[in-house]
Amino acid sequence: MAIEPLRDTKAGLLRAPDIGRTVRVAGWIARRRDHGGVIFIDVRDASGIVQVVLNPETAPASDDVLHGLRSEYCVAVEGTVESRPAGTANPDLPTGEVDLVASSLTVLSAADPLPFQITDRVDVDEAKRLEYRYLDLRRDKMANNLRARSRTVQAMRRVLDADDFLEVETPTLIASTPEGARDMLVPSRMRQGHFYALPQSPQLFKQMLMVAGVERYYQIARCYRDEDLRADRQLEFTQLDLEGSFWGQEDVLATLESVVCEVVKDVRGLELSRPFARLTYAESMDRYGTDKPDTRFAMEIADLSTVFDGTGFKAFAGVLASGGTIRGINAGALGLARSGLDAQVDRAVELGARGLVWMVVQEDGSLRSPVAKFLSDDEIGDIKRTLEAAVDDVLFIVADSPKVVGKVLGSLRLDHGQPEGHEDLNFLFVVDFPVFEETDDGGFVAAHHPFTSPHSVAEMRDDPSNALSNAYDMVLNGVELGSGSVRIHDPVVQQQVFEVLGISEEEADQRFGWFIRALRFGTPPHAGFAIGVDRLVSILQNEPNIREVIPFPKTQTGADPLTGSPAIVDDTQLEELGLLIAPAVRASWDTNTENGL
């Protein structure tokens, strides 16, 4: 006897031309309504929803079954596709012109009462959603996010495969790589007291693949960084990681543009114009106060230092005399009352400024501001001209060190100008980053990572604070989507960078000796990049949080409410690893239920 398939048709694909067909569909009960004897159920499968009509008089399923049907039962239905009665078509539903009139219904699997309704319209506590993620993922929005993510990765692979890239997997149990974050560690059983680190990125492996002659590498790589979680940060995240030999910056940026254009075309149906805009790091900091500017709106930071050259306003004169700067933005007609304007001052102080000057342009052209009386007419005229101020515009001015001024005005700019969501997409590259960042104790850390090549080695050794590197970032709507650089391929230069970083030859040898040795075997010049897949998909899907596009993410506290990780393990497991839990930590387990088994 031939075995009948459970279904021969996808529920969401039924249309008017199918009328008259006998079909089998299978899926979940999205909704049921009893209409005096006749029962309507919406059956949902991955393709969409169809309305099924169950008439107990004609459908052979028992009354008990029909009346016992509940939301999210998994069912199979056989029936005939019929036109909906006149006036009952639903134009909002792709299958809205037809009904599936059932001749039989089988319950494949019942569902317990639901912890929340499976609809996009219900606001559910996120911890609950994560605890029942398999139900949460049945919602349209989440299912769409998963599909967009899959399409994103496929589009990436399409472009890179066509360009002769080799997809190579690198290990996830490795020795620590210095990407600047805290490592996630995994204890070794076979070498007790030793630990693997999970990769913060495949950085050194992809460079090694260049030494190995791979020439063009990519990987959809899982990376791990033990950092505090935020809306755009998880303990584990996914990167499109790539690297090319005999490459310089332009090769990398052109490849990134091709990849991103293909993804956006596929997921958003949009053709982006190329080449993407470019800003140097210095320009970006100057004009937007950040290295990841949102250029969907202007509100640029303007330099007002020359306006106040020789000013009688003591506070400003003092800042200029001590080497500071005075800058401002025109935040537009915000319509804020006095209390709202004063709240901006509090915000600026929170951000690290000593204060903030606000000014509102009045009908007669004068400025309403607590400091107006200290300013000359010329100064007022120059401020208005420089900030292109019109009546009712609110101007914010900060006088401080360039770093503080940039941070405060950059943040206020976002507070008052950044569009909600991600309707428009504004990709750009920021290039010419510094090689190093100065630490509070006068030392240096790598601004990108220590394998990034400087513009000039001599400059780097003479003046590390101002040396520029061949590092670049891709930014989308004010979010850093990824970073990369032209690498150091000369072991001597690599050693010199370690020196500036205060890593002694001995330490470098101990930590990266294997890597420096590899560089001595005919290393081709190479360059690469990594794009954050979670961030890219979340923006394309207009989601405020990368958790929405990660199937099984962690909460802000790094926990997974579904599986209960991280969890306490058996003492025997600890013994095998040669590990002891500190008594104080053990004692805390009794009181800290989050850690409890």
Contact predicate 288/413, CB 8 Å: yes
In DSSP notation, 302-360 reads EE-TTTTTT-S-HHHHHHHHTT-EEEEEEEE-----HHHHHHHHHHHHHTT-S--EEEE
Cβ proximity to ligand ASP, 140 vs 251, nearer residue: 251
Work out how close the CB of 484 gets to ligand ASP at its nearest, in angstroms, rounded to a whole number.
4
Strand order in the sheet with 367-368: 302-303, 325-332, 394-400, 357-361, 367-368
Q: Should residue 469 be labelled a site residue for ligand ASP when binding is judged by CB under 6 A?
A: no
Q: How far apart are CA 597 and CA 222, in angstroms?
A: 28
Footprint on residues 125-154 left by ligand ASP (CB under 6 A): none
Residues 30-69 as x/- pattern, contact with ligand ASP by CB under 6 A: ----------------------------------------
Max Cα separation, the chain?
99
Footprint on residues 303-322 left by ligand ASP (CB under 6 A): none
Contact predicate 397/319, CB 8 Å: no
Work out how close the CB of 411 gets to ligand ASP at its nearest, in angstroms, rounded to a whole number.
24
Cβ proximity to ligand ASP, 179 vs 232, nearer residue: 179
Distance separating the N- and C-terminal Cα atoms of the chain: 51
Footprint on residues 470-499 left by ligand ASP (CB under 6 A): 483-485
557: number of Cβ within 10 Å = 9
Cβ proximity to ligand ASP, 151 vs 511, nearer residue: 511
Work out how close the CB of 488 gets to ligand ASP at its nearest, in angstroms, rounded to a whole number.
12
Cβ proximity to ligand ASP, 203 vs 238, nearer residue: 203
Q: Which residue is nearest to ligand ASP (CB)?
A: 201
Work out how close the CB of 183 gets to ligand ASP at its nearest, in angstroms, rounded to a whole number.
14
Which phi and psi (to 5°) does residue 88 adopt? -110, 5
Chain mean position to CA 254: 22
Contact predicate 263/155, CB 8 Å: yes
State both tokens at 222. Answer: 């899982």
Cβ proximity to ligand ASP, 181 vs 334, nearer residue: 181
Q: How far apart are CA 195 and CA 187, in angstroms?
A: 4
Cβ proximity to ligand ASP, 201 vs 311, nearer residue: 201
Work out how close the CB of 290 gets to ligand ASP at its nearest, in angstroms, rounded to a whole number.
18
Angstrom CA distances, 416 to 87, 332, 392, 513, 542, stand at 48, 8, 15, 50, 20
Cβ proximity to ligand ASP, 165 vs 529, nearer residue: 529
Cβ proximity to ligand ASP, 181 vs 317, nearer residue: 181
In DSSP notation, 395-464 reads EEEEEE-HHHHHHHHHHHHHHHHPPSS-SS--EEEEE--BSEEE-TTS-EEESS-TTBPBS-HHHHHH-T
Cβ proximity to ligand ASP, 199 vs 324, nearer residue: 199
Q: Which helix (H) or strand (E) holds 567?
A: none
Cβ proximity to ligand ASP, 45 vs 179, nearer residue: 179
Work out how close the CB of 451 gets to ligand ASP at its nearest, in angstroms, rounded to a whole number.
7
Work out how close the CB of 211 gets to ligand ASP at its nearest, in angstroms, rounded to a whole number.
16
Footprint on residues 69-98 left by ligand ASP (CB under 6 A): none
Footprint on residues 160-179 left by ligand ASP (CB under 6 A): 179
Work out how close the CB of 201 gets to ligand ASP at its nearest, in angstroms, rounded to a whole number.
3
Cβ proximity to ligand ASP, 43 vs 468, nearer residue: 468
Contact predicate 146/171, CB 8 Å: no
Q: Should residue 201 be labelled a site residue for ligand ASP when binding is judged by CB under 6 A?
A: yes
Q: How far apart are CA 395 and CA 375, in angstroms?
A: 14
Footprint on residues 505-544 left by ligand ASP (CB under 6 A): 528-530
Nearest to 554 by CA among 300, 230, 314: 230
Work out how close the CB of 203 gets to ligand ASP at its nearest, in angstroms, rounded to a whole number.
4
Work out how close the CB of 324 gets to ligand ASP at its nearest, in angstroms, rounded to a whole number.
33
- Which DSSP category does 230 fall into? B
Contact predicate 394/331, CB 8 Å: yes
Q: Should residue 244 be labelled a site residue for ligand ASP when binding is judged by CB under 6 A?
A: no
Cβ proximity to ligand ASP, 177 vs 426, nearer residue: 177
Q: How many residues bind ligand ASP (CB under 6 A)?
A: 9
Work out how close the CB of 564 gets to ligand ASP at its nearest, in angstroms, rounded to a whole number.
30
**Among positions 203, 453, 477, 523, the unique one binding ligand ASP when judged by CB under 6 A:** 203
SS3 assignment, position 387: coil
Work out how close the CB of 281 gets to ligand ASP at its nearest, in angstroms, rounded to a whole number.
15
Q: Could you list the residues that contact ligand ASP (CB under 6 A)?
A: 179, 201, 203, 483-485, 528-530
